[in-house]
């Protein structure tokens, strides 16, 4: 009887530890469902239109509430200083695709982290403003990003993440141009 109590107590401690690591008990229990990395872009129109000026950011890199703000005619007319507006039909397809595949809709590792990181507060309009993403790049010196002709901006994910298009952002697939040893 006593042993049973001790093992139950131990189990409870283990679960609560796991819960802290995963940030919620539910997610700790659902870990087997969690998948690696991030879903690559599968929609042709999205890839074409949203990959025309920069890396085609996977919808799983931002929560739905961010895509809702970014993907309106009004917002796209002044999209970070550029006109990226789309016709009605294309906007609908891209909006629906982004919302259906937003961070909180995915079991993939990076999307989970981003969904948790953006659950509270104003929706970020940039991936580079997501707390989790900021934290991961915090230590990289400015000269390797802004001062680096082959990178220029942290927004150019694929300049350093060699498998970004496949949705892989793992440290093992990172190589900063001009700083191969970083
Ligand atoms: C006409 C060019 C152009 C098109 C087309 C375009 N963008 Fe952008 N986008 C930009 C520029 C410029 C920036 C700012 C880049 C920077 O600060 O380095 C940007 C930034 C972004 C960012 C923020 C990146 C960050 O810093 O985290 C997101 C998200 C984004 N675009 C999504 C989209 C989506 C989705 C589409 C398709 C509907 C799209 N863009 C189409 C020019 C464009
Ligand atoms: C200047 C090069 C550079 C650019 C540009 C860049 N990253 Fe990174 N990123 C890195 C490095 C280096 C690391 C590894 C940091 C560390 O030591 O943990 C990293 C780590 C990450 C991680 C965590 C990986 C892990 O294994 O924990 C994610 C997720 C990530 N980056 C996403 C992005 C996204 C999304 C973009 C674009 C919006 C981006 N990065 C742009 C260099 C870059």
pLDDT, tens digit, 9 for 90 and up, residues 102-132: 999 999 999 999 999 999 999 999 999 999 9
Closest C-alpha to 130, from 107, 111, 108 = 111
Ligand 1 neighbours by CB, cut-off 6 Å:
49-50, 52-54, 57, 79-80, 82, 84, 94, 126-128, 153, 155
Taking the C-alpha atoms of residue 109 and residue 39, their distance in angstroms, rounded to an integer, is 10
User: Using an 8 Å Cβ cutoff, are 43 and 93 in contact?
Assistant: yes
Which pLDDT tens digit goes with each residue over 76-110? 999 999 999 999 999 999 999 999 999 999 999 99
Look at residue 33 and tell me whether its pLDDT is greater than 70. Answer: no
Q: How far is the CA of 79 from the centre of ligand 1 (A)?
A: 7
Q: What is the pLDDT of residue 45?
A: 98
Closest C-alpha to 27, from 120, 104, 121 = 104
- SS3 call for 75: helix
Which pLDDT tens digit goes with each residue over 123-176? 999 999 999 999 999 999 999 999 999 999 999 999 999 999 999 999 999 999
Ligand 2 atom closest to the Cα of residue 176 is 2
Top mutation candidate among 155, 156, 160 for ligand 1, by most atoms within 8 Å of CB: 155
- Sequence-distant (6+) residues with CB within 8 A of 58 are 38, 39, 40, 41, 101, 167
Query: Can you give the pTM of this predicted structure?
Result: 0.87
Q: How far is the CA of 57 from the centre of ligand 1 (A)?
A: 8
Taking the C-alpha atoms of residue 84 and residue 177, their distance in angstroms, rounded to an integer, is 28
Do you know the residue count of the chain?
182
Domain coordinates of the chain in residue numbers?
2-33, 44-173
Q: Phi then psi for 4, rounded to 5 degrees?
A: -60, -40
Ligand 1 atom closest to the Cα of residue 86 is 38
User: Using an 8 Å Cβ cutoff, are 164 and 158 in contact?
Assistant: yes
Q: How far is the CA of 24 from the centre of ligand 2 (A)?
A: 24
Least confident of 11-25, 29-43, 138-152: 11-25
Taking the C-alpha atoms of residue 158 and residue 58, their distance in angstroms, rounded to an integer, is 12
Q: How far is the CA of 6 from the centre of ligand 1 (A)?
A: 55
Look at residue 30 and tell me whether its pLDDT is greater than 90. Answer: no
The token pair at 56 is: 């085609």
Q: Phi then psi for 34, rounded to 5 degrees?
A: -70, 140
């Amino acid at each position: 009887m006593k042993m049973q109590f001790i093992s139950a107590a131990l189990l409870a401690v283990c679960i609560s530890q796991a819960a802290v690591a995963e940030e919620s008990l539910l997610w700790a229990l659902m870990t087997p469902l969690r998948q690696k990395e991030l879903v690559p872009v599968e929609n042709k129109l999205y890839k074409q239109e949203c990959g025309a000026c920069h890396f085609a950011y996977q919808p799983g890199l931002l929560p739905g509430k961010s895509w809702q703000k970014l993907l309106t005619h009004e917002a796209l007319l002044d999209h970070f200083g550029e006109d990226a507006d789309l016709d009605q039909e294309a906007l609908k397809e891209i909006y629906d695709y982004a919302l259906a595949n937003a961070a909180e809709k995915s079991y993939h590792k990076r999307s989970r982290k981003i969904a948790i990181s953006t659950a509270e507060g104003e929706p970020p309009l940039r991936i580079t403003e997501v707390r989790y993403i900021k934290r991961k790049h915090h230590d990289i010196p400015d000269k390797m990003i802004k001062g680096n002709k082959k990178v220029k901006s942290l927004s150019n994910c694929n300049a350093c993440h060699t498998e970004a298009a496949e949705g892989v952002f793992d440290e093992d697939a990172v190589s900063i141009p001009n700083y191969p040893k970083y």
